[in-house]
Amino acid sequence: MSIVVRTLSDQVFEIVRERIVDGSIRAEAPIRQDALAAELGVSKIPLREALVRLEHEGLIHSQANRGYSVRALSAEQADEIYALRLAIEPRAAAIGAAEADGDDRSYATTSLAALEEARGAAPTEIAVRHRRFHVALVRPGDRMLTTQLIERLAMLAERYVIAHLEPAGRFARADREHRDLLAAWLDGDGNTVEQLMIQHLELTRADLQAELQHLRNR
């Protein structure tokens, strides 16, 4: 049995990351380290460590004499994230369908059920469950590097997933697309899985481009 030890820096990282993803910390507003450290009841050392990790995650950026602030959502970043996902994830999911055993199929089915049950939950919870489902489709086969890359990209996409699901009807459409994906995946139909994943990611990418361009032009 493995024991996961979470340092104070890890805990601070997770708290601040959740606030960024759900929009509690506003984009481009300065992160006031003294106030945030006091609110969390920690020294500035674990907070600084967490902020360095968040900058590495691409969620915040630092500027000379201005400190850290949250990166705003951008059409350019969304396009880059989804272009990378399209390059890796469809084929990886097809391979996962071919390699999946009974436990893998059970985990993927449970992951989708958990995502569908999350409608109306906190945005961060929806984003986490969405990521878990997508990762469940690529885990089989012990291709560790591929799985890690896809999970990293899915984490970077979480704020965009939340934004994408906000308009009416989007959650229902995503449910349909995910169910079709899972059905083909459970059947071991790699070609259909690959094509459905491409369509799913391309539609999301196109929606985000339209939404983010609209926000930019307001």
| Residue ranges with strand state E in 49-164 | 60-63, 67-70
CATH 1.20.120.530 maps onto the chain at 75-217
Q: Cα–chain-centroid distance for residue 78? A: 12
CA distance 45 to 121: 33
Query: What was the pLDDT predicted at 3?
Result: 44
Range scoring the smallest mean pLDDT among 49-58, 62-71, 129-138, 203-212: 62-71
The pLDDT of residue 80 is above 80: yes
Q: Are 71 and 60 in contact (CB under 8 A)?
A: yes
Specify whether the CB–CB gap between 8 and 42 falls below 8 A.
yes
CATH 1.10.10.10 boundaries in the chain = 8-70
Task: Output the pLDDT for position 63.
Answer: 81
Whole-number pLDDT of residue 173? 94
Contact by Cβ (8 Å): 211, 199? no
What is the band of 28 on the pLDDT scale with cuts at 50, 70, 90? confident
pLDDT at 216: 65
For residues 82 and 125, give the distance between their C-alpha atoms in angstroms, rounded to a whole number.
21
Phi/psi for 188 (5° steps) reads 75, 20
Structure tokens at 109: 């089915």
Higher pLDDT, 83 or 121: 83
Q: What is the mean pLDDT of the chain?
A: 90
Q: Looking at the domain that runs over 8-70, which CATH code has it been given?
A: 1.10.10.10
CATH says 75-217 is which class?
Answer: mainly alpha
How many Cα neighbours within 13 Å face the side chain of 3? 2
